[in-house]
Amino acid sequence: VMKPDGEYFRRVVPSPPPLEILQVEAIRTLLEQCPDLLPIACGGGGIPVSRIPSNPRTLTGVEAVIDKDCCGAKLANELDADAYIILTDGGGIWQNYGKPDAREMKLASPEYLLGTKAGKNFPGSMGPKIQAAIDFVHNSKREGAWAAIGDLRDASDIFGNDAGTIVREDVEEGVVWRQPKVVADSNPKQSKEQHKSG
């Protein structure tokens, strides 16, 4: 299938959800046996393959792309992770992003995000990240499992919920909004009146 992309055309392929991560045992072994190493997996979503039904041990390539966020959520669930963090270049989940009344979610439940269709206006960027966070929380076997979306520069602050958005099951009223940061005026105006003190 071809689709217009500006003055040119580009080939479009489906993006099915990942069903299995083939080398998950190798990743698990690295995490258990080499705690000082940080395995990098699911980059770009991985290479899409499919098992041949008549011979399930045989794999064949598939014309598709695997979404890296969904693949990361699948991996985090298979590794029984406590949390799944998606780092971006734009912060957490926002309502009215880019508008004067924009506000960032501090905490959100999967049900709230699904009910408000959060990220649906950004199907190529934030939408898949939000869906991956929801999928991780819903599919986790760990009690209290959470996912987070936030800016790469705020990675350490995300753990304390001082930046980004945490997605978890037990959020009262479904959402907690982050208070806007007050920016101090770097150039305060001087009063024309002389300072009076008592």
Asked whether the beta carbons of 57 and 120 are under 8 A apart, the reply is: no
Residues 6+ apart with CB under 8 A from 176: 105, 106, 107, 108
Query: Is residue 196 predicted with pLDDT exceeding 50?
Result: no
DSSP string, 145-181: -EEEEEEGGGHHHHHTTSSSEEE-S--GGGEEEPPPP
Question: Which has more confidence, 109 or 188?
Answer: 109
**What percent of the chain stands above pLDDT 90?**
61
Phi/psi for 26 (5° steps) reads -65, -40
Query: Is residue 193 predicted with pLDDT exceeding 70?
Result: no
The pLDDT tens digits for 148-163 are 999 999 999 999 999 9
Task: Tell me the average pLDDT across 72-98.
Answer: 93
